[in-house]
């Protein structure tokens, strides 16, 4: 008589999956990848293509970069087409003929500074 703990099964054809007789898919004949320790990829299997949240972040970054390039190009075109001199009555000083793009740039910088100051002063708490 043979030892009850040692049973040798010989079969022809498909070998049972390492996850058990039913395999990791839950039933016989349902396929599924063999289980590997620690969830690692078996040898020779390439890693899965990038997907999920990391892929979305990279795509969003590329969209932002493309939009920045487009906005930069539009600003450059705007600057080149607005080189004509205009008469400006400056607050301090006399009326002068100044390129329109310079007037626009000074106004833009002043707007950024005022916005930054308002944001900085608005964030102060308990003063």
Q: How many other CB atoms sit within 10 Å of the CB of residue 23?
A: 19
pLDDT in tens, 26-60: 445 555 555 555 555 566 776 666 566 666 677 88
pLDDT in tens, 86-124: 999 888 888 889 999 898 889 889 999 999 999 999 887
**Residue 23: is its pLDDT beyond 50?**
no
Under 8 Å between Cβ of 99 and 84 = yes
Q: What's the pTM?
A: 0.42
The pairs formed by 63-68 with CB atoms below 8 angstroms and a separation of 24 or more are none
Query: Tokens 């078996």 belong to which residue?
Result: 42
Q: How many other CB atoms sit within 10 Å of the CB of residue 17?
A: 17
**Which pLDDT score is estimated for 58?**
77
Q: Establish how many alpha carbons lie within 13 A of residue 86's alpha carbon, considering only the half-sphere containing its beta carbon.
A: 11
CA-to-CA distance for 25 and 39, rounded, in angstroms?
A: 15
CA-to-CA distance for 114 and 11, rounded, in angstroms?
A: 81
pLDDT-derived band at 73 (thresholds 50, 70, 90) equals very high
Give 55 or 23, the one with higher predicted confidence: 55
């Amino acid at each position: 008589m043979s030892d009850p703990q040692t049973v040798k099964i010989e079969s022809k054809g498909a070998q049972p999956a390492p996850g058990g007789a039913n395999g990791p898919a839950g039933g016989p004949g349902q396929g599924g990848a063999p289980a590997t320790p620690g969830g690692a990829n078996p040898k020779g299997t390439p890693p899965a293509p990038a997907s999920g949240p990391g892929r979305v972040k990279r795509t969003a970054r590329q969209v932002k970069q493309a939009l920045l390039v487009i906005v930069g190009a539009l600003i450059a075109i705007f600057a080149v087409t607005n080189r004509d001199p205009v008469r400006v009555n400056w607050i301090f000083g006399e009326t002068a003929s100044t390129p329109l793009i310079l007037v626009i740039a000074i106004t833009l910088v002043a707007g950024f500074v005022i916005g930054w100051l308002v944001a900085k002063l608005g964030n102060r708490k308990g003063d």
